[in-house]
Amino acid sequence: MKILAIETSCDETSAAVVESAKDNSHVKLLSNVVASSMSLHAVTGGIIPEIAARNQIHHIIPVIHEALEKAGTSFNSTHSPVIDSLAVTFGPGLIGSLLVGVETVRTLSYIWGKPLIPVNHLFGHIYANFIETIEKPSETIPFPLIALIVSGGHTDLLYMKSHSDIIWLGGTRDDAAGEAFDKIGRLLNLPYPAGPLIEQHAKVGNPKAYHFPRPLMYDKAYDFSFSGLKTAVLREVEKLKNDKGNSLPLKDICRGVQDAISDVLVYKTLKAAEEFNVHSILLSGGVAANQTLRNKFQEALNTNTKLFVPQKSLCTDNAAMIGAAAFFRNKVVRWHDVSANPELYFD
Ligand code: KG4
Ligand code: ZN
């Protein structure tokens, strides 16, 4: 089975073709094209929804063409591509951006007569772990498992007994982990998105210079909160500004911030893994591209649990993960009944 998937929930415009791998435990990546308007947002320090959507309208058809061609098929006004199904992110996300993908795919489903699978972007992130690429051969992922989604918009912990039996355990009460990286980055005058830059600076930062708060770390609930961390950094930056002559110890602050965020994520995820006695832990979302976080998880694991992380390029938003989620959670919906839902969460 071959799926053409589209993702336009935030600032990326992406199309990918995935195909079921032999034993149906993974999907094989045939193509994954991502056009980003990130450089436009770096200037403004964050995403401006209308600029993102206008850019996506411009990119959507060329990106679909390129993804199909790379996967060995194509389309024109007289023939449709050789695929079995279409998939699209229908939420959560920015309404203007979601509409670009959803309306394009509804039209293609109608004119090509292909089934359409609407996908929750958050499940998409988790299913990046089920993609087999040349760089990352597939490895069986044993259930039950705990999945941690850490992206710019979300921090969620889920208990998955199977592909269809899923319990949401908790999420962020305020800022998401990626959002905390980005907002703290702005306080430190780093361009958007700040996560990868904070990771770079933290590599040479002194781990003992700052100990920022680890919000809700020992709380019984599986919820997260990162806005207090941002306030603690703001206070520190203001103090340093008032002490004239002091330059900002950027690397040390970055190290302190990254340690605080990763300690909370690792501690709570491992606590859930122990409580539910799972075989696997799956990381996903843009923040899961952070190598220090990956290493911390690996070091903290017990011998009965295996850690799975997507290839780094598949942690941030992409259509391949949407194709993978569509394959495993295959729920075809008539094109008339698919609509964008910016507030979508877990049912
Ligand atoms: O999953 P994603 O592409 O978008 C959403 O669905 O939100 O995640 C983007 C987020 C941004 O907040 C970015 O700063 C963060 O992922 N990020 C990182 C790293 N790479 C991306 N955060 C920390 N370390 C990284 N290496
Ligand atoms: Zn995302």
Task: Tell me if 156 CB under 6 Å of ligand 1.
Answer: no
Predicted confidence at residue 23, as pLDDT, reads 86
Output the tens digit of pLDDT for each of the chain's 347 residues: 999 999 999 989 999 999 998 789 999 999 999 998 767 666 677 788 999 999 999 999 999 999 999 999 999 989 999 999 999 999 999 999 999 999 999 999 999 999 999 999 999 999 999 999 989 888 899 999 999 999 999 999 999 999 999 999 999 999 999 999 999 999 999 999 999 999 999 999 999 999 999 999 999 999 999 999 999 999 999 998 887 666 789 999 999 999 999 999 999 999 999 999 999 999 999 999 999 999 999 999 988 899 999 999 999 999 999 999 999 988 999 999 999 999 999 87
Q: How far apart are CA 284 and CA 312, in angstroms?
A: 9
Produce one character per residue of 266-277: b if its CB has 16 or more CB atoms within 10 Å, e if not.
bebbbbbbeeee
* Ligand 1 close to Cβ of residue 105 (< 6 A): no
Quick: pLDDT tens for 71-93: 999 999 899 999 999 999 999 99
Give, for 157, the enclosing helix (H) or strand (E).
strand 155-160
Q: What is the pLDDT of residue 40?
A: 67
Which stretches within the chain are classed as H helix? 38-44, 49-70, 95-112, 121-127, 177-187, 195-202, 227-242, 250-275, 291-300, 320-328
- 257 burial via Cβ count (<10 Å: 0-12, 13-18, 19+): buried
For CA atoms 246, 247, 250, 255, the dihedral sign is negative
Query: Which atom, in ligand 1's list, is nearest to the CA of 181?
Result: 14
- The whole-angstrom separation of Cα 25 and Cα 127 is 11
Q: CB within 8 A of 131, min separation 6: which ones?
A: 18, 26, 27, 28, 29, 310, 311, 314, 320, 321, 324
CA-wise closest residue to 215 among 169, 179, 265: 265
Q: Which of 113, 12, 50, 107 is nearest to 320 (CA)?
A: 12
Ligand 1 pocket mutation, candidates 11, 154, 316, criterion most atoms within 8 A of CB: 316
Ligand 1 pocket test: pick from 47, 175, 287 the residue with the most ligand atoms within 8 Å of its Cβ.
287
- If phi > 0 it is left, if psi is from -120 to 50 it is alpha, else beta; for residue 245 that is left
pLDDT for 136-189, tens place per residue? 888 899 999 999 999 999 999 999 999 999 999 999 999 999 999 999 999 999
Q: 176, 131, 141, 152: which is closest to 313 by C-alpha?
A: 131
Q: How far apart (Å, rounded) are the C-alpha atoms in residues 121 and 168?
A: 15
What does the pLDDT look like over 314-324, one tens digit per residue? Answer: 999 999 999 99
Tokens 């980005």 map to which residue? 182
- Token pair for residue 180? 């905390």
Specify the pairing of strand 280-284 against strand 145-150: parallel
Give me the amino acid identity at 280: S
Could you tell which of 9, 10, 129, 151 is best to mutate to test the pocket of ligand 1, judged by most ligand atoms within 8 Å of the CB? 151
* Coil, strand or helix at 16: strand
pLDDT at residue 41 in the model: 62
Task: State how beta strands 116-120 and 85-91 pair.
Answer: parallel
Q: List residues, by chain if needed, whose CB lies under 5 Å from ion ligand 2.
A: 151, 317
Structure tokens at 220: 């019984």
Q: Which residues contact 311 (CB under 8 A, 6 or more apart)?
A: 128, 131, 133, 135, 136
CA distance to 148, 212, 330, per residue, from 228 (Å): 21, 9, 40
Ligand nearest to the CA of 191: 1
Here the tokens at position 60 are 């959507």
CA distance 319 to 313: 11
